[in-house]
């Protein structure tokens, strides 16, 4: 049977127990919880990195200073199979992952095939092909990442058609095609970067 002294001890301890329980609950709510990060975040980060790298090297495809580059401004472009990307603000506002990633994959593969062709053409006329080789490597890596991303979201990887490419016999022709590919690759990089940033899951770190 509890004595009066025991009841007094229990009564005195009750506020302390309540205080400890409140502190424990406060600790649970204030402790940092792990933030869920989408498994796609790493893939998007890698793809954006490849596009950024391409943005830094596209001008080296022709290796022409601005003064000499002006001689090619009025030359008619002849690579009909090269993607000519057109976009508006409305296009970016209506992006869909299952549509935009396959399109980006096709553009990447097309530029990859054109840059590989340019590399061979440069070698055939004894021009340096180092820049084309570098661009080809990054386009191939971007293509592989896009391929993996399409598999992740359960989308079929589209088949890219083989472009019809002209026979090149002079260094002037090679330089002309280098400028053409370089200019279109610049547009591609700007478009791709914006598409990837907009499609990136919202929980992904921004850096």
What is the distance between the alpha carbons of residues 45 and 86, in angstroms, rounded to a whole number?
24
Q: Which residue has the higher pLDDT, 70 or 194?
A: 194
- % pLDDT > 70, the chain: 73
What is the distance between the alpha carbons of residues 88 and 169, in angstroms, rounded to a whole number?
38
Mean pLDDT of the chain: 81
pLDDT 10s digits, 177-187:
988 898 899 99
What is the distance between the alpha carbons of residues 172 and 48, in angstroms, rounded to a whole number?
33
Q: What is the DSSP string of 151-198?
A: HHTTPPPPPPPPP------SHHHHHHHHHHHHHHHHHHHHHHHHHHHH
The pLDDT score that the predictor gives to residue 92 is 83
pLDDT 10s digits, 112-159:
999 999 999 999 999 989 999 999 999 999 999 999 999 998 999 999
What's the DSSP call for residue 70? G
- Give residue 58's pLDDT band: very low, low, confident or very high (50, 70, 90): confident
pLDDT 10s digits, 71-101:
666 666 688 888 888 778 888 888 898 999 9
The pLDDT score that the predictor gives to residue 28 is 44
Q: What is the DSSP string of 79-117?
A: -TTS------HHHHHT--HHHHHHHHHHHHHHHHHHHHH
The pLDDT score that the predictor gives to residue 196 is 95
């Amino acid at each position: 049977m509890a004595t009066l002294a025991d009841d007094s001890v229990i009564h005195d301890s009750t506020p302390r127990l309540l205080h400890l329980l409140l502190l424990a609950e406060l600790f649970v709510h204030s402790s940092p919880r792990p933030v869920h990060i989408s498994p796609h975040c790493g893939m998007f980060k890698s793809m954006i990195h490849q596009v950024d790298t391409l943005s830094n090297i596209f001008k080296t495809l022709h290796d022409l200073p601005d003064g000499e580059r002006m001689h090619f401004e009025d030359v008619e472009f002849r690579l009909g199979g090269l993607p000519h990307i057109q976009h508006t603000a409305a296009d970016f506002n209506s992006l869909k992952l299952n549509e935009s990633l396959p399109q980006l994959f096709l553009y990447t593969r097309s530029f990859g095939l054109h840059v590989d062709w340019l590399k061979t053409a440069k070698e055939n006329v004894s021009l340096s092909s180092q820049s084309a080789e570098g661009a080809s490597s990054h386009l191939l890596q971007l293509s592989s990442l896009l391929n993996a991303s399409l598999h992740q979201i359960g989308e079929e990887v589209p088949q890219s058609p083989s472009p019809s490419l002209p026979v090149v016999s002079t260094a002037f022709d090679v330089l002309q095609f280098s400028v053409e590919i370089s200019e279109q690759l610049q547009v591609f990089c700007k478009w791709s970067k914006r598409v990837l940033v907009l499609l990136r899951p919202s929980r992904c770190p921004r850096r």
